[in-house]
Structure 1
Amino acid sequence: MGEESLTARNLARVQEIYGRYAQGDRGALFEALAPGVSWNSVGDGLLPWAGSRKGPKGVRAYFAALDAEAEVTRYEVEQVIAQGEWIATLATVQIRYRRSEQSYRYAKADFIRLVDGQVVDFREFYDTAQACRDHACGG
């Protein structure tokens, strides 16, 4: 299979996953996780959900930590860039922190590697310094 076909198939897969996630359905994401998925969210040591995790169980732990602290109230994908196994998404996410009941918006970038339709690598980047100020890290 050529790279164009691989790119198109992976792009469609990620759009399906993000489309369902934006509607509050994480099922497509959990179904797409490879057994050895590597999941990384910047801000390790600052934010409870941040850090590196392995496998579907680790990804569920990421979401459990995130859900304990905040609620994602809006998720808007602005741009998707694809090449072969790698997909990059630029998005805006709105978070309501449970402790303060305050909502904040963040621009973020995700990098996802898919092999045979499964997520094998996920890397999430956003302004963790701002998120820490908004979330009152350590407070």
Structure 2
Amino acid sequence: MPTQDQNVAQLRKAYAQWSEGKGADCACWMDVLADDASLGSLANGAPEMAFTAPRKSRDEIQGYLEGLTRDWEMLTYDMNDYIADDDRVVVIGRVKWRHRTTGKIADTPKVDVRRFRDGKAIDFVEFFDTAACFAAATT
């Protein structure tokens, strides 16, 4: 059974690939996810960020990532603090995205909470400044 250190190492690699590629390739996340993974977002599918609706499978999470990168351009994605306890890993950082339609920028702290089973992420919840993102997504 993978240890929490292995879960952190897997996430460090995925976040580094995501950041370095500016979100162009979602494969780094697909490699981490279990087929039955779920995703929740503080934005919860609000009209300004409809792609953040709850997801209940790996394929649905792929749709979230496609919506994110369709609507937003990654400027920076710095997730530097990893806190692991048993099957959970909390990742803390700061991200900056530009909305592709409005051109406005959202610069926000970000916290991701992931739960693992047998070396794969089965649950993912993200927290960020929704007010800043909604304002950037609104013309």
Of the structure 1 ranges 122-131 and 37-46, higher mean CA displacement relative to structure 2 is found in 37-46
Show structure 1 runs of 4+ deviating over 6 A. none
- 1:43-62 to structure 2, matched below 5 A, reads 43-44=43-44, 45-46=46-47, 47-62=49-64
In 1, Cα distance between equivalents of 2:28 and 2:134: 29
Alignment match, 2:73: 71
Counterpart amino acid of 1:89? Answer: V
Distance 1:57 1:120 in 2: 13
- The Cα of 1:8 is off from its aligned counterpart by 1.4
Instruction: Tell me if structure 1 keeps the 8 A contact 2:74–2:97.
Output: yes
Percent identity reads 25
Give the drift of 1:22. Answer: 1.3
Q: Distance in 1 between matches of 2:33 and 2:5?
A: 19
Q: Which amino acid aligns with 2:64?
A: Y
Q: Which runs of 5+ in 1 are unaligned?
A: none
CA contact (8 A) 1:48 1:66 kept: no
| 2:8 counterpart of 1:11 | yes
Aligned residue among 119, 122, 126 for 2:121: 119
User: 1:36·1:54 contact (CA, 8 Å) conserved in 2?
Assistant: yes
Instruction: State the TM-score, normalized to the length of structure 1.
Output: 0.87
What is the distance in 1 between the residues matched to 2:96 and 2:7?
26
Q: Normalising by the residue count of structure 2, what TM-score does the alignment of the two structures yield? A: 0.87
Deviations 1:37-88 (A, max 9, x none): 0111121224222121011111111012112211112100131111111000
Number of residue pairs matched?
Answer: 134
State the secondary structure of the residue aligned to 1:8: helix
